[in-house]
Amino acid sequence: MPFRISTFLAASAAGGILGFAVFGARALWFGAWLGALLWFGLDIWRARRLLSALRHDVGSLPTRAGGMWGEMAERIRKHLRERDIQTRQAQDRLQEFLAAIQASPNGVVLIDEQGRIEWTNETAAQQLGIDTERDVLQHLSNLVRDPAFVAYLASWNYSRDVTIDAPSLRQGRSGQPVRLSMQIHPYAGNRRMLLTRDVTALEQAETMRRDFVANVSHEIRTPLTVLVGFVETLQNLPLDADERSRYLRLMAQQAHRMQTLVNDLLTLSRLEGNAPPPASQWTAVRALLAHCEEEGRALSRQLNAQGHVLSFVLEADCEISGAPVELQSAMSNLVSNAIRYTPGGGEVAVHWRQLSDGRGEFSVRDSGPGIAAEHIPRLTERFYRIDRSRSRETGGTGLGLAIVKHVAQRHGGELRVESTPGQGSRFALVLPRARVRPLPAPGPRA
Ligand SMILES: Nc1ncnc2c1ncn2[C@@H]1O[C@H](COP(=O)(O)OP(=O)(O)O)[C@@H](O)[C@H]1O
Ligand SMILES: [Mg+2]
């Protein structure tokens, strides 16, 4: 301010002195007045320049101009710069938050009071078929039309979630719609956040569990009903010794069936719960194969007077690593299936070899009825049988191949099935290279 007064006085004084010097004493006051006027003109020009910059383009604020107007421009510029930095920092923070929500495996949709989409992350956009840019401010209920969800959105009661079919997403192979759990959480007054979660796998697991329990109960109930019937017959009817022993034989058969079922169930549950098979425990394939042969020959004789043409070939003398009990159970299952489903007189060939890439293959080929292509992918499902009564007749539980597949997977291998109806089948258990090593050839002493 003092600077402003002093420049004003200096301008008037300079005008006065100039008037006095040029036109004499008469022009002194006129000169001073003219000087003051000039100062005012200049002052107004500078004020207007500042005002016009503030109105139109803050970037063109005068720099390094002195005086009150210059200082004002400088301070405004400084404030603006600070505000700019703060805004940029706030924006960066916001972007980081959005990036974090984007990375969430759950879908997130922010909805305003009227139910219009304010923002959505990629996951939700994909699950709900929303375009993250085009559909902003669209009503969510226009895009997700499932009646259950529309009612839920309008109810303003969000204590539970609703589960719907995803409008646009299908599951990979089956083509069934993906199942989505949708839950809304209100925030900041009347705004809402919708969280979406893919619960397809969860629902499938639940269905599988229910089916499994129903299947097990059914499998146990059938022999149990027969058993109870025989017990009642024995209790109520006077039977001669022959009949009694016939009934007891049938009862023993049913009891045995239940026992096999329970054993298979226990094997499966052990496979699911146990630690992965050891990598350093090695078993000779020769021994496993010998055990298969012993069991196979006994089973063949037991099932059929005619028996089968069985062959067991060890092409390469190897050791395999893993859990011996599991490997034996998988191999025996394949051999017993081939013998059970191949009519008497048929051929069953069991073969161990090392493939050219070092993997080991245990295969069982039979000349049985074969399996139609549509059944093959489902054979390893629990309790899946092509012919229920045939499987029962031969003492099957429907769990054998489920066990084999489990064992294969636990050892990092796979179960391969090839079959031509009418010509026979070939089941192969392939073990990874790391689990197979050739046995050194026997020395001269052996
Ligand atoms: N070698 C085979 N030849 C023909 N069908 C087979 C053979 N092995 C398995 N199957 C079919 O696969 C089904 C499932 O086999 P598995 O899981 O071992 O149960 P099961 O206890 O019935 O033998 C069998 O019921 C049978 O229909
Ligand atoms: Mg079987």
**How far apart (Å, rounded) are the C-alpha atoms in residues 89 and 446?**
81
Q: Which residue puts its alpha carbon closest to atom 14 of ligand 1?
A: 385
- Is the domain of 311 the same as that of 417? yes
Residue 126: phi and psi, rounded to 5, are: -70, -45
User: Which of the four pLDDT bands, split at 50, 70 and 90, describes residue 443?
Assistant: low
What is the spatial distance between Cα 109 and Cα 144, in angstroms, rounded to a whole number? 12
Averaged pLDDT score across all residues of the chain = 91
Q: Are residues 120 and 139 in the same domain?
A: yes
Centroid of ligand 1 to alpha carbon of 202 (angstroms)? 29
Instruction: Please give the Cα distance from 293 to 313 (Å, whole number).
Output: 10
For Cα atoms 70, 75, 80, give the angle at the middle one, nearest 5 degrees.
125
Q: Is residue 386 within 6 Å of ligand 1 at its C-beta?
A: yes
Check whether residue 311 and residue 419 sit in a common domain: yes
Percent of the chain with pLDDT over 70: 98
Is the pLDDT at 326 greater than 90? The verdict is yes
Provide mean pLDDT across the span 268-272. 91
Bridge partners (DSSP) listed for residue 318: 438
Q: Which of the listed residues 182, 198, 214 is the one where a domain comes to its end?
A: 198
Do 261 and 398 lie in one domain? The reply is no
Does some domain include residue 170?
Answer: yes
Closest residue to atom 24 of ligand 1, CA basis? 385
**231: CATH:** 1.10.287.130
CA distance 383 to 24: 126
Among the residue ranges 20-29, 80-89, 170-179, 225-234, the one predicted with the least confidence is: 170-179
Phi-psi region of 424 (alpha: psi -120 to 50; beta: other; left: phi over 0): left
Kindly give the distance from the C-alpha atom of residue 36 to the centroid of ligand 1, in angstroms, as a whole number. Answer: 114
Residue 175 lies in a domain: yes
385 C-alpha vs ligand 1 centroid, how far in Å? Answer: 6
CA 402 to ligand 1: nearest atom: 17
Statement to judge: residues 57 and 161 lie in one domain: no
Specify the ligand 1 atom closest to the Cα of 386: 27
**347 and 220 in one domain?**
no
In-domain check, residue 9: yes
Domain ranges, residue 264: 205-273
Q: Which ligand 1 atom is at minimum distance from the Cα of 401?
A: 17
Q: Is the pLDDT of residue 50 over 90?
A: no
> Which residue from 364, 394, 399, 401 has its CB within 8 A of the most atoms of ligand 1, so it is best to mutate?
401
Cα of 286 from ligand 2 centre, angstroms: 23
Instruction: Write the pLDDT tens digit of every residue in 412-423.
Output: 999 999 999 999
Does a structural domain hold residue 98? no
Whichever domain contains 113, its CATH number is 3.30.450.20
Residue range 354-367: average pLDDT?
Answer: 96
Arithmetic mean of pLDDT, 16-32? 89
Distance CA 444, CA 423 (A): 44
Q: What is the pLDDT of residue 445?
A: 53
- Are 185 and 209 contained in the same domain? no
Structural domain ending residue among the three candidates 144, 177, 198: 198
Verify that 45 and 185 share a domain, yes or no.
no
Q: How far apart are CA 158 and CA 362, in angstroms?
A: 57
| 388 C-beta neighbours (distance < 10 Å), count | 12
For the stretch 386-405, pLDDT in tens is 887 777 777 788 999 999 99
Does the beta carbon of 367 sit less than 6 angstroms from any atom of ligand 1?
no
Domain boundary pick from 153, 179, 198:
198
Q: Give 314-323 pLDDT, tens digit per residue.
A: 999 999 999 9
Q: Would you state the pLDDT for residue 371?
A: 95
96 within a domain of the structure (yes/no)? no
Encode pLDDT of 276-310 as tens digits: 899 999 999 999 999 999 999 999 999 888 899 99
- Residue closest via CA to ligand 1's atom 25 equals 385
Residue 179: name the closest of 146, 222, 228 by CA.
146
**133 plus 154 within the same structural domain:** yes
For ligand 1, say whether the CB of 398 is within 6 Å of any of its atoms: yes
pLDDT at position 269 is 92
Ligand in nearest proximity to the CA of 372: 1
Flag whether 94 is in a domain.
no
Q: How many residues does the chain have?
A: 446
* Residue 286 and residue 249 share a domain: no
Per-residue pLDDT tens digits for 133-166: 999 999 999 999 999 999 999 999 999 999 999 9
* pLDDT beyond 70 at 446: no
CB atoms within 10 A of CB 241: 7
Q: Is 329 in the pocket of ligand 1 (CB under 6 A)?
A: no
pLDDT at residue 171 is higher than 90: no
Give yes or no for residue 89 having a pLDDT over 90: yes
Name the token pair of 236: 């109520």
Candidates 348, 365, 374, 379: which one to mutate for ligand 1, based on the most atoms within 8 Å of Cβ? 379
Strand order in the sheet with 107-111: 117-120, 107-111, 191-198, 177-187, 162-170
333 CA from centroid of ligand 2 (Å)? 6
Residues 350 and 379 in one domain: yes
What tokens does 355 get? 């493939």
Tell me the C-alpha distance between 172 and 122, whole Å. Answer: 19
Please say if the pLDDT value at position 235 is more than 60.
Answer: yes
CB 371 within 8 A of CB 417: yes
3-state secondary structure string, the chain? CHHHHHHHHHHHHHHHHHHHHHHCHHHHHHHHHHHHHHHHHHHHHHHHHHHHHHHHCHHHCCCCCCHHHHHHHHHHHHHHHHHHHHHHHHHHHHHHHHHHHHHCCCEEEEECCCCEEEEECHHHHHHHCCCCCCCCCCEHHHHCCCHHHHHHHHHCCCCCCEEEEEEEEECCCCCCEEEEEEEEEEECCCEEEEEEEECHHHHHHHHHHHHHHHHHHHHHHHHHHHHHHHHHHHHHCCCCHHHHHHHHHHHHHHHHHHHHHHHHHHHHHHHHHCCCCCCCCEEEHHHHHHHHHHHHHHHHHHHCCCCCEEEEEECCCEEEECCHHHHHHHHHHHHHHHHHHCCCCCEEEEEEEECCCCCEEEEEEECCCCCCCCCHHHCCCCCCCCCHHHHHHCCCCCCHHHHHHHHHHHCCCEEEEEEECCCEEEEEEEECHHHEEECCCCCCCC
Structural domain contains residue 93: no
Q: Are residues 353 and 287 in the same domain?
A: yes
Higher-scoring residue by pLDDT: 45, 174: 45
Q: Is residue 99 in a domain? A: no
Q: Encoding tokens for residue 216?
A: 């097990």
Q: At what angle do helices 2-23 and 28-56 cross, to 10 degrees?
A: 140
Number of domain units in the chain:
4
The CATH number of whichever domain residue 291 belongs to comes to 3.30.565.10
Model pLDDT, residue 4: 84
Residue 86 sits at φ, ψ, to 5 deg, of: -60, -45
